[in-house]
Amino acid sequence: MNEKIYQMINQQVFPSAFCPGCGHGILMNAILRAIAELEMEMKDMLFVSGIGCAAWIPSPHFKADTLHTLHGRAIAYATGAKLYNPKLKVMIVSGDGDLSAIGGNHLIHAARRNMDMTVVCANNGIYGMTGGQVASTTPLGSRTSTTPKGNQEPPFDLCKLVEAAGGTFVARQPVVTPIPLTRTLKKAIVHKGFSFVDVLSPCPTQFGRRNAFRTPYDMLTYLKNTCVSVEKAKSTAPDEIKGKILVGEFVGGKGGEA
């Protein structure tokens, strides 16, 4: 079923740079599928990314205009391009640290402006490329190379952050459920205004090995068991939701205002 997708990539750069079992590879797969199912053309897109493993999702894998920028700055660069050529369909694909730590300021201002762009945050809760340091999204207690005894800082809820800043389509999906993920990505792409998707995408190499996940599949299983959709959460007792991760479309999807 991937025939269309193979036309959308630079095949000569595969096998990809991602580690075996990297969640970002699954996300790359889903983004391409979303664009293909929407019957959109890669030539109408502009993909902008920062620095980090997630930033490699579009660059160099996508056969399209790609802009691989500086750490944290993808959204600023995308803003310039979109304003000058509004016909471009702009998608930013970058990591959680890149978008919400060093890049946090650009994220909240683009959301405040409700700029017509889609931000796909490949969220693995760690700085993978540089050796597994703690990030602004690392869960409390998790081990990273700079929190060997367990992270003491509470993480961002990126969806609440972007919603508060003014984003008009805000959602979260894990890579383990590719069909809801693709569906949400399609809505985000089509949405007019600032859309943000927090994609839970595991890093087996840096996060998994430090936190007792032996295989990529174990990390996907953890996500499957921990994520609860917004709809399901409505009819579930509060103490059963404790410790779970809420996923779904919070703003601008089924559950929110456009």
Partner 1 sequence: MALQLKKVKSSLSPGWYFMQGDEAAAEGAIAAGCRFYAGYPITPSSEVMVHMVKRLAEVNGVFIQMEDEIGSIGALIGASWAGAKVLTATAGPGISLMTEGIGYAVITETPCVIIDVQRAGPSTGQATRPGQGDVMQVKWGAHGDNEIVALAPWSVQEMYELTIKAFNFAERFRVPAFLLADEGVGHLRETLVIHEEVEIFDRLKKRGEPPFGTEDPTGVPPMPAFGEGENLLITGSTHDERGFRKTADPGTHAKLTERLVRKVRDYKNEVIQTESYFMEDAEFGVVSFGFTARAAIQAVKTLRKEGLKVGMLRLVSIWPFADEAVAEMGRKCKAIYVPEMNRGQIAGEIRKYTSQPIIPIPKTNGEVFEPAEIVEAIRRNMI
Partner 2 sequence: MEKKQKKKARIEINQKWCKGCYICLETCSKKVFEKSVEVSEKGFFPVIVARPEDCTSCLQCEMLCPDLAINVKKGE
Binding residues vs partner 2 (CB under 8 A):
1-3, 5-6, 9, 14-16, 18-26, 28-30, 33, 175-176, 178-179, 182, 204, 215-217, 220
Instruction: Give the residue, chosen from 31, 32, 35, 48, that forms a contact with partner 1 under the rule CB under 8 A.
Output: 48
Please name the residues in contact with 108: beta carbons below 8 A apart, sequence gap of 6 or more: 161, 162, 165
Q: Is the Cβ of residue 2 or residue 225 nearer to partner 2 in the bound state?
A: 2
Draw the binding track, 108-127, toward partner 1 (x: CB under 8 A; -: no contact): -x------------------
| Residue written as token pair 């991760």 | 245
Q: Which amino acid is at 230?
A: V
Which of partner 2, partner 1, none does residue 68 bind (CB under 5 to 8 Å by kind)? partner 1
In the complex, what is the shortest distance from the CB of residue 210 to partner 1, in angstroms, rounded to a whole number?
26
- Sign of the four-CA dihedral 81, 175, 204, 242: positive
In the complex, what is the shortest distance from the CB of residue 57 to partner 2, in angstroms, rounded to a whole number?
11
Which of partner 1, partner 2, none does residue 236 bind (CB under 5 to 8 Å by kind)? none
DSSP string, the chain: --HHHHHTB-GGGPSPSSPTT-HHHHHHHHHHHHHHHTT--GGGEEEEE-SSTGGGTTTTTBSSEEEE-STT-HHHHHHHHHHH-TTSEEEEEEEHHHHHTTTHHHHHHHHHTT-SEEEEEEE-SSBTTTT-B--TTPPTT--BTTBTT---SPPP-HHHHHHHHT-SEEEEEETTSHHHHHHHHHHHHH-SSEEEEEEE---IIIIIHHTT--SHHHHHHHHHHHEEEHHHHHTS-HHHHTT-EEEEEEESSTTS--
Which of partner 2, partner 1, none does residue 9 bind (CB under 5 to 8 Å by kind)? partner 2
**Is residue 131 a contact residue for partner 1 (CB under 8 A)?**
no
Instruction: Give the residue, chosen from 23, 30, 35, 77, that forms a contact with partner 1 under the rule CB under 8 A.
Output: 77
Which of partner 2, partner 1, none does residue 15 bind (CB under 5 to 8 Å by kind)? partner 2
Which of partner 2, partner 1, none does residue 39 bind (CB under 5 to 8 Å by kind)? none
**Is residue 67 a contact residue for partner 1 (CB under 8 A)?**
yes
In the complex, what is the shortest distance from the CB of residue 187 to partner 1, in angstroms, rounded to a whole number?
24
**Is residue 79 a contact residue for partner 1 (CB under 8 A)?**
yes
Q: Give contact residues for partner 1 (rule: CB under 8 A).
A: 13, 42-44, 46, 48, 59-60, 63-70, 73, 76-85, 87-88, 105-106, 109
